[in-house]
A and B are shown apart, each in its own frame.
Chain A
């Protein structure tokens, strides 16, 4: 049986761990992620009072939702965000979702009110500004349709950074040079600020996605990006977040989750829809 030197994880241990972690978070680690996982488990074990994987894993399973699991999740999830992250979903927005939204709302020229897009959580703003860039540069209807982009997050500090919209080179490394020249200004120390026109077009809000009362003011969104956050919630909080997202969306509206997340494991209220670019969830059109 193979094992790694650092953790002593056998192949069987890894499979059991991967199944456990998938069950608790929805994140699946295939064998190809072995090195990544082993290193982080090793860190967790070193930070714990346990000497071996077996003892640590037994304690983890016993304590379950406690701080051990949280530390593990923190180790095994990448919190870094950047412009145009998981942009196959932006491809889906442009090629399939927006045409469907326009068609459902009467078509260009007859649509009443703006198309509304929500990024929640928006963190330091990379996601809503990425949406803006993709729309401005690649959506042929942008001059014919009003679009509102909203970003929301529970953290006021990240919202302040989102409002300032100044980013380091690592964050903007996927932005094409032509777009950088057009929409960013160098502000020194290797940082680049998003152009005022885009900054002022994005509306930022502080909100807790699990707070039903606060989420009541979010209504009629056609497209919602809620990526890589539900995995941090327990099952009940995920259910309430899903209900609140449902309430924020227009019937027929589209919800994008992170690639490792599944609404099917949280709530049956959305309808999964397979697009050429991947899976998206819709608020059923039959519901008011």
Chain B
């Protein structure tokens, strides 16, 4: 008893056996064991032929941990096809799926701009709120500009409030007038008014 060394010292990167093929991993996405599905989804990184099948499973996978691993693998592709295939779930009735997909899209700065116009024009304002959430975390030099556009142009106060909330961490005194204009555009919306009023002292440097 006490401290023991592992019996067979391992060199993981040298002695690692060949992993299962993409074909086998794909078939395991239907395995009843969620842990096996999770590991298969992670193992499919670098197998672009698996992307359509994984995208098709995003909406039907019931285990949130398996869904997370699929999204981690899919997001690594950062292609317009993947972004488009994920973005459709922003309108899902399932909050867990919507949120997980939004978090994945926020890690796709190369391809997300391609789906942005259709998301900004989505008739469902909740989709546009989710879009603002994505832009809050998207590491893209235009993210700030897109949020400003949402604040100026979106007709729904919840979307504008969401965009303001997303903008605030990177907002400066230059954005004060933008916030004042938004507050004036929706004078009867208490949440938007609260959000702007709470932000102004920090941005203007006044109590």
Contacts and interface: CB of A to CB of B under 8 A. Distances in A.
A64 B139 contact: yes
Contacts of B69: 243
Interface stretch (B3-11, B53-61, B114-122): B3-11
A148 B5 contact: yes
A23 B135 CA distance: 13
Interface string A205-227: 11100011111111000000000
A212 B2 contact: no
A269 B10 CA distance: 28
B45 interface: yes
Given A1-B205, A239-B107, A287-B34, A214 B4 contact: no
B154 interface: no
B72 A236 contact: yes
Contacts of B173: 12
A239 B139 contact: no
A149 interface: yes
A285 interface: no
Q: How large is the interface on B (under 10, 10 to 19, 20 to 34, 35 or more residues)?
A: 35 or more
Interface string B138-152: 011100100000000
A147 B3 contact: yes
Contacts of B26: none
A38 B11 CA distance: 44
A176 to B, nearest CB: 19
A285 B100 CA distance: 22
A231 to B, nearest CB: 15
B54 to A, nearest CB: 14
A60 B24 CA distance: 45
Interface in A104-138: 114, 132, 135-136
Contact of A217 (B12, B35, B141): B12
Contact of B16 (A136, A142, A144, A217): A217
A40 to B, nearest CB: 20
A268 B64 contact: yes
A147 B2 contact: yes
A234 to B, nearest CB: 7
A247 interface: yes
Contact of B3 (A15, A149, A268): A149
A201 B139 contact: no
B84 interface: no
Nearest to B106: A235
Nearest to A135: B3
Contacts of B172: 16
B123 interface: no
A66 B100 CA distance: 26
Nearest to A136: B3
A203 interface: yes
A214 B202 contact: no
A202 B2 CA distance: 12
B80 interface: no
A287 B141 contact: no
Contacts of A12: 173, 202-203, 205
Given A148-B5, A235-B137, A267-B68, A213 B35 contact: no
A198 B3 contact: yes
A284 to B, nearest CB: 8
A288 B34 contact: yes
B13 A234 contact: no
B70 to A, nearest CB: 10
Nearest to A213: B19
Nearest to B201: A12
Given A217-B12, A287-B34, A269 B5 contact: no
Nearest to A147: B3
Contacts of B100: 268
B156 interface: no
Contact of A203 (B6, B33, B76): B6
Interface of A: 1, 10-12, 15-16, 19-20, 23-24, 61-65, 114, 132, 135-136, 142-150, 197-198, 200-203, 205-207, 211-218, 234-236, 239-240, 243-244, 246-247, 267-269, 284, 287-288
5 contacts: A146-B4, A206-B11, A215-B12, A267-B68, A269-B65
Top-5 shortest CB links A-B: A201-B3, A288-B35, A217-B12, A236-B107, A12-B205
